[in-house]
């Protein structure tokens, strides 16, 4: 979705909406150009507002899943004290699970930073 948002084809300069009969019926050329520019400005502002909402929603969702993951890891660690010896995971397996979760978290953070930097520059 972020890539699609940044495509040149999604720019208002590529849009045919301003070449329609509604705008072309205005005979006063400076007035028509001013109206088209104001419409473009409003559309761009709306587009940016919607994308900011999407971006905040993605951040909130990321935080929500991070908390859920932390809760699940805590439950797994706590369950090791209550299970009998045959049901417990080995300490090596727990360490491997934790290392894998950390690697996944690092990769997600890296992807998040990579995807969000160009957007924050706009």
Report, as an integer, the average pLDDT of 22-31: 84
Whether pTM > 0.75 for this model: the answer is: no
State yes or no: pLDDT of 46 exceeds 70.
yes
pLDDT tens digits for range 55-87:
888 889 888 988 998 898 888 888 888 888 888
Q: What pLDDT score was predicted for residue 96? A: 92
Can you list the pairs that 10-15 forms with residues at least 24 positions away whose Cβ atoms lie under 8 Å?
12/40, 12/43, 12/44
Can you list the pairs that 55-64 forms with residues at least 24 positions away whose Cβ atoms lie under 8 Å?
55/116, 55/119, 62/108, 62/112
Domain ranges of the chain: 2-121
């Amino acid at each position: 979705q972020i890539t699609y948002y940044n495509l040149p084809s999604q720019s208002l300069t590529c849009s045919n909406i301003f070449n329609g009969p509604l705008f072309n019926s205005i005979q006063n050329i400076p007035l028509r150009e001013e109206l088209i520019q104001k419409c473009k400005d409003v559309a761009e502002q709306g587009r940016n507002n919607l994308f900011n909402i999407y971006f905040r929603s993605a951040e909130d969702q990321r935080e929500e899943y991070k908390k859920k993951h932390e809760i699940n890891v805590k439950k797994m660690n706590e369950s090791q004290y209550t299970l009998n010896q045959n049901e417990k995971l080995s300490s090596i397996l727990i360490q491997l699970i934790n290392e894998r979760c950390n690697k996944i978290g690092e990769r997600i953070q890296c992807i998040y930073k990579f995807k969000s930097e160009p957007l924050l520059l706009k």
